[in-house]
A and B are shown apart, each in its own frame.
Chain A
Amino acid sequence: MFRTPIKKLILISILALGCLYISIPSKFSLIGKEFNRPNLDIKIANTTIKRNFDMRFGLDLAGGSHLVFEADTSKIAADKKKTAIEGVRDVIERRVNLFGISEPTVQTSTFEGKDRIVVELPGIKDTNEAITLIGKTAQLIFFEIKDIPATKTSSASAIPVATTLTGADLQSAQVVFDSQNGKPAIALKFTKQGGDKFAEITGKNIGRVLPIVLDGQMISAPRVQAKIVGGDAQITGNFTIEEAKALSVQLNAGALPIPINLVEERTVGATLGAESIQKSIIAGVVGIVIVCIFMVVSYGFLGLVADFGLIIFGLITLALYKLIPVTLTLPGIAGFMLSIGMAVDSNILIFERFKEEKLKRNYSDALEISFGRAWDSIRDANFATIITALILINPLGWTFLPMSGPVRGFGITLLLGIFISLFTGIFVSRNLLRVFVKDGKNKK
């Protein structure tokens, strides 16, 4: 199967067409007509395969916020640090998910004892609101008032003392409107255990105030009328609707086990991103056209074959970006363009070799030998680039290496570019030439 060059060419054409289908945007207009490319939606037996082939853009292109928080672990025992950080991540993840934006990511990173949480929010509108909501520790504690009997030095007084009832005992929190004054309030539902604690506390404190404190600030101090069993309670503070909503989000997501600080913020507006995409596409097309012309001018027919290989390279690359999917960032685009320059390199190496070899032997033998000999250089040279690309990608997440999104994006597109260029520069152009050069020999 697929032994002869012609059959291989057919295989390559099918591959190229498949990639073309995936590469084109889902909506585009050509010669004044609108086209729609349907997404993959196949039903085989009982399983449906559904894939949309949309390019995924990073924050710098799509717009959005990149936030880095540093966790204050100074008061945490070393052996509990890891759990605490993971707890922070989970809580932030739950809070972030409530924003309803697509594909937010929350990751932890540790370097030299500093624990960070990296949050990426693509397409977010109000970053400040997000920062406030993410950073709130949301430690909810119920206090009770303890009487201190009069002593010789001071008269009788009362101080608030924390009970064991906290936000951890909550099952859910919900915004409601107070039935008496119509103001926003928060309805709390305790877990079974929490409900029992609450019943005990209210039972002990009938007729007294029960301060409710969030992050060190008292938000309300209702007076207990009767023992409350069943695990339901309501907080009525002086909330606006927004405040009540934010509070319920925080309470639902759980409290942050440790406080966190914002140490880095990068926000890109959606317009800047769209502009960058536009400019990069233009730059890319212009660059590719110049490279194609250069190849034809330098190598004639051979150059044309290389250009054909280059187009297939572009199609496969774009298709793979969509399939894997690779999140495309600006440095990633630069990596793609650099790999185009490198993709032509294997062809240049082979063609220069071919110029030498064809003086010594016939056309098709010279061609085979050039491909064979150039391979050693191509392999050794690309291996060095692969090493660098892997270090930039840092696939094992080593903490002593850079781990930022843009650098990684660049590394991924560079690495993919090398592998695809090995395929197109060697397999594709070799078979193309095998088919056409036979005719070239006959003509001679």
Chain B
Amino acid sequence: MINWMKYRFVYLLISVIVIGSGVFSIAKWGFKIGIDFTGGIVMEYKFPDGNTKVFNYSPMEKEKSDKIRQNLKESGGVEIRFENIGPSIGPELIKKTVIALCISASLILFWIAYQFKSFKFGISATLATLHDSLVLLGSFSLLGHFFGAEIDFLFVTAMLTILSFSVHDTIVVYDRIRESQNKFIGNIYELANKALNETMVRSLNNSFTIIFMLAALILMGGETVKWFSVALLIGTISGTYSSPFVAVSILVTWDNLQKKFKKP
């Protein structure tokens, strides 16, 4: 049996470094925000020589954009995509997304707290999902700076999905702790170690299957869903890591602190 929990501060340190570099990138470079949020025009044209070209514009009058489209058409281009988003749509979307994130996170928190009869479990799991959201945001700031990945509508969807995936994994570990609690006497530290030993292979195997599907999508699924799949992939990896190493580490640390203060 591996004593996973012995190194819990190492895991937390790794997370702090990863999130730290993400936060640094956000502070320095920010995000590359797509037209879903800023408003503007994206058009993609296919030209007779077989090349496709993407044009980006900031918001403009319809007459102007029509003129550009007309010009492109006359030079032999075939329009394969045209998106014109008004500037008023973005702020509304951000608001709605934040509401959706909050509702979903708090519902999950209460569900776990109810199932495991302890807010300690619920809050640790929620902190782990917060960890994954931060990792995802940070990596997209970096990917945006170096590779032009944009924060768009689909990114938001990916974020919500990762939230549930991360919790999915955490619950599986928690479930093992709960099961052992009924059978064995021991503190959470020992039970957590036992649970991690029992679930580690499953956790990795499950992530592999999801990673295979996402990798196939990234490599072969076409341009439109590429960054969406990348976001899901980062989330999956972070979610797999955060369940045993963040959620359970926090749970154990919390439990230890609580005991220290109870028995002075």
Name A's B-contacting residues (CB within 8 A): 60, 68, 70, 111-112, 114, 127-128, 262-269, 271-272, 275-276, 279-280, 282-284, 286-288, 290-291, 294-295, 298, 330-331, 333-335, 337-338, 340-342, 344-345, 348-349, 352, 356, 373, 376-377, 380-385, 387-389, 391-392, 400-404, 406-407, 410, 414
What would be 29 A-B contacts, judged by CB atoms less than 8 Å apart? A262-B62, A263-B85, A263-B86, A264-B85, A265-B82, A268-B80, A276-B224, A280-B222, A287-B214, A330-B225, A333-B221, A334-B228, A338-B161, A338-B232, A341-B213, A345-B209, A356-B198, A377-B176, A380-B171, A381-B172, A381-B175, A384-B108, A388-B161, A391-B100, A400-B99, A401-B99, A402-B96, A402-B100, A407-B153
Residues of B within 8 A of A114 (CB): 88, 92
Which of A291, A342, A381 counts the most B-chain CB atoms under 10 A from its CB? Answer: A381
Name B's A-contacting residues (CB within 8 A): 44, 46, 62, 66, 78-86, 88-89, 92-93, 96-97, 99-100, 103-104, 107-108, 111-112, 115, 153-154, 156-157, 160-161, 163-165, 167-169, 171-172, 175-176, 179, 198-199, 201-202, 205-206, 208-217, 219-222, 224-225, 228-229, 232
Residue on B nearest A402 in the bound complex, by CB: B96
Provide the bound-state CA to CA distance between A352 and B203, in Å.
10
Residues of A within 8 A of B89 (CB): 68, 263-264
Contact: A294 with B209, CB < 8 Å? yes
Residues of A within 8 A of B229 (CB): 334
Contacts A380-B171, A388-B164 hold; do A275 and B222 have CB atoms under 8 A apart? yes
Interface majority SS (helix, strand, loop, mixed), chain B? helix
Residue on A nearest B212 in the bound complex, by CB: A290
Contact: B225 with A331, CB < 8 Å? yes
Within the complex, the shortest CB–CB distance from B43 to chain A, in Å, comes to 9
Within the complex, the shortest CB–CB distance from A340 to chain B, in Å, comes to 6
Residues of A within 8 A of B115 (CB): 380
Provide the bound-state CA to CA distance between A265 and B10, in Å.
49
Q: Which of B66, B83, B221 contacts A128 (CB 8 A)?
A: B66
* In the A-B complex, the 7 residue pairs with the closest CB atoms: A341-B210, A263-B86, A287-B216, A388-B164, A283-B220, A269-B80, A279-B222
Contact: B157 with A410, CB < 8 Å? yes
Q: Which of A272, A290, A345, A402 contacts B44 (CB 8 A)?
A: A272
Contact: B153 with A348, CB < 8 Å? no
Interface majority SS (helix, strand, loop, mixed), chain A? helix
Q: Which of B100, B112, B175 contacts A377 (CB 8 A)?
A: B175
Contact: B206 with A344, CB < 8 Å? yes
Residues of A within 8 A of B81 (CB): 267-269, 272
Residue on B nearest A389 in the bound complex, by CB: B164
Residue on A nearest B62 in the bound complex, by CB: A262
Residues of B within 8 A of A391 (CB): 100, 103-104, 107, 160
Contacts A262-B62, A334-B228, A391-B104 hold; do A376 and B175 have CB atoms under 8 A apart? yes
Residues of A within 8 A of B172 (CB): 349, 377, 381
Contact: B111 with A387, CB < 8 Å? yes
Within the complex, the shortest CB–CB distance from B210 to chain A, in Å, comes to 3
Provide the bound-state CA to CA distance between A410 and B156, in Å.
12
Contacts A381-B167, A400-B96, A401-B99 hold; do A406 and B210 have CB atoms under 8 A apart? no
Residues of B within 8 A of A276 (CB): 222, 224-225
Q: Which of A348, A385, A403 contacts B164 (CB 8 A)?
A: A385
Contact: A111 with B221, CB < 8 Å? no
Provide the bound-state CA to CA distance between A340 and B212, in Å.
11
Residues of A within 8 A of B208 (CB): 294
Provide the bound-state CA to CA distance between A60 and B44, in Å.
14
Residues of B within 8 A of A111 (CB): 92, 96
Provide the bound-state CA to CA distance between A391 and B224, in Å.
24
Within the complex, the shortest CB–CB distance from A73 to chain B, in Å, comes to 14
Contact: B179 with A283, CB < 8 Å? no
Provide the bound-state CA to CA distance between A366 and B211, in Å.
30
Residues of B within 8 A of A272 (CB): 44, 80-81
